[in-house]
Structure 1
Amino acid sequence: MNKKKLTTIVTAAVMGTMIVIGGTLAWFTDKGETTNVVTFGNVDIKLEETQKDGNLSEKGLKFENIVPGDKFKKDPTITNIGKNDCYIRAKITFTEGAPIGADSLDIKSAEWKKGSDGYYYYKGVVKNGMNVVLFNEVKIPGELGNNVADKTFNIKVDAEAIQSDNFEVNFESDTPWGTTPITAETYKEPTK
């Protein structure tokens, strides 16, 4: 055989072998796939008070035949029923012309900070299932006179919550949640 024919046969054999090996390598493939599931948590609170029977209820309380100097139990209890830890703030408002103000409430100042925006800010993170009480008692001043006889007024408590993760709070500030408007889901205590 001449050299040229031998080179052609060897080249053809090498090429054929490479095609067979290349074709065989095509069978060694792999594929991977994954699906990531992202589920958002939530912030959810419940505002309740202890009723006369000792049970908590979301209904407001009604107090009758109150006289100057009386004290009565009123304990707005805010519970974190959401999946995520949160910060809580509450605002207390009184019917216009009410004979009392926030100074008649035993607000737990060691736990709550009054902001310049009128909110009371709970000074810590409220974990899932945890509850906090804003105040326990209302004290009616003994100096009130006949000008309040047969009068009615409301004490309204609104509570709001925001996630604690990735939210910065500054309890040294007069507005611990900052000045950026926050649209929080609000739970209002019913008034009677």
Structure 2
Amino acid sequence: MTKRKRTCLCITAVTAMFLIVSQTMAYFRSEDFITNRLSAKMVPPKPETYVRIDVAEQFDSHTAKTDDPFQKDVKIGNTGTEECYVRVRLDFSTSEYRELTDFSHDGTIYTPAVSYTGEYLPDGWVYYDGFYYYTSPLAVGGMTATSLISDVQVDFSLAPQSLSDEFDIFVYAEAVQAVDEDENVIGYQQAWGIA
């Protein structure tokens, strides 16, 4: 190769390198500014939702063995933040007393506790598998419109002498949301999963 061709080739190579380096430097030195404008706004947290109930109970102390009826008025109130369905179970501290006890929801007609179901129940209540279900949803702050029971009467004449004078009727209550996952109001049977 001639000296002239080599010189030309070297000049071409140096020029190409100069162009590549200058373009690369221009690319890295290029600057562009974008101003992001942000604003803050106070968003209150979503309120916590929960189901909570209270047993609202009025009762007379009953310590003497007497056949006179006494008041035990049982209603359920919704103290949570969600509409709900409730169910109640009535348990005796001494099982023998279940056989001796009658319930009334109006103070006039008494039904044995062991058969306090069906037509003997107050409006809005049904019995299923050991529980009394209130069939209407309870609004937030609402209460059952009717008492599950209002009065109790015990026939002590049928009680054995060994049976204690005192017993308790425990009111056990549960609640479940009255809406499904899509926030649609559902019936009490669907809410409780009963057929």
Query: TM-score band, normalised by the shorter chain?
Result: 0.5 to 0.7
| Alignment equivalent of 1:156, drawn from 170, 181, 184 | 170
Say if 1:170 and 1:51 are closer, same or farther in 2 by CA, change over 3 A. closer
- Cα root mean square deviation, aligned: 3.3
State the AA in 2 paired with 1:79.
Answer: G
Offset at 1:129?
1.7
| Alignment equivalent of 1:38, drawn from 42, 46, 49 | 46
State the AA in 2 paired with 1:47.
Answer: V
State the AA in 2 paired with 1:140.
Answer: V
Q: TM-score, normalised by structure 2?
A: 0.57
Q: Does the CA-based 8 Å contact 2:63-2:166 persist in structure 1? A: no
Unaligned runs of 5+ in 2: 1-31, 106-120
Which has the larger helix fraction?
A: 2
Q: Does the CA-based 8 Å contact 2:103-2:152 persist in structure 1? A: yes
Q: Does the CA-based 8 Å contact 2:51-2:80 persist in structure 1? A: yes
Aligned to 1:152, what secondary structure does the other structure show? coil
Say if 1:128 and 1:66 are closer, same or farther in 2 by CA, change over 3 A. farther
Q: TM-score, normalised by structure 1?
A: 0.58
Offset at 1:74?
0.2
Q: Does the CA-based 8 Å contact 1:169-1:178 persist in structure 2? A: no
**Structure-1 residue corresponding to 2:80:** 82
| Alignment equivalent of 2:136, drawn from 111, 116, 124 | 124
Q: Give the fraction of aligned pairs with identical amino acids, expressed as a percent.
A: 22
Q: How many residues end up aligned between the 2 structures? A: 140
Q: Does 1:178 align with 2:193?
A: yes
Say if 1:150 and 1:64 are closer, same or farther in 2 by CA, change over 3 A. same
Offset at 1:152?
2.6
Q: In the aligned structure 2, how far is the partner of 1:31 from the partner of 1:73?
A: 66
**Structure-1 residue corresponding to 2:122:** 109
Say if 1:30 and 1:105 are closer, same or farther in 2 by CA, change over 3 A. same
Q: In the aligned structure 2, how far is the partner of 1:138 from the partner of 1:131?
A: 21
Q: In the aligned structure 2, how far is the partner of 1:41 from the partner of 1:113?
A: 28
Q: In the aligned structure 1, how far is the partner of 2:53 from the partner of 2:159?
A: 40
> Whose radius of gyration is greater, 1 or 2?
2
Say if 1:81 and 1:145 are closer, same or farther in 2 by CA, change over 3 A. same
Q: In the aligned structure 2, how far is the partner of 1:141 from the partner of 1:114?
A: 24
Aligned to 2:152, what secondary structure does the other structure show? strand
Q: Does the CA-based 8 Å contact 2:85-2:178 persist in structure 1? A: yes
Deviation readout 1:3-30 (Å, 9 max, x if unpaired):
xxxxxxxxxxxxxxxxxxxx8xx77x87
Offset at 1:103?
7.0
Unaligned runs of 5+ in 1: 1-22, 53-61, 180-192
Offset at 1:97?
3.3
Offset at 1:76?
1.8
Q: In the aligned structure 2, how far is the partner of 1:154 from the partner of 1:83?
A: 31
Q: Does 1:138 align with 2:152?
A: yes
Offset at 1:51?
5.0
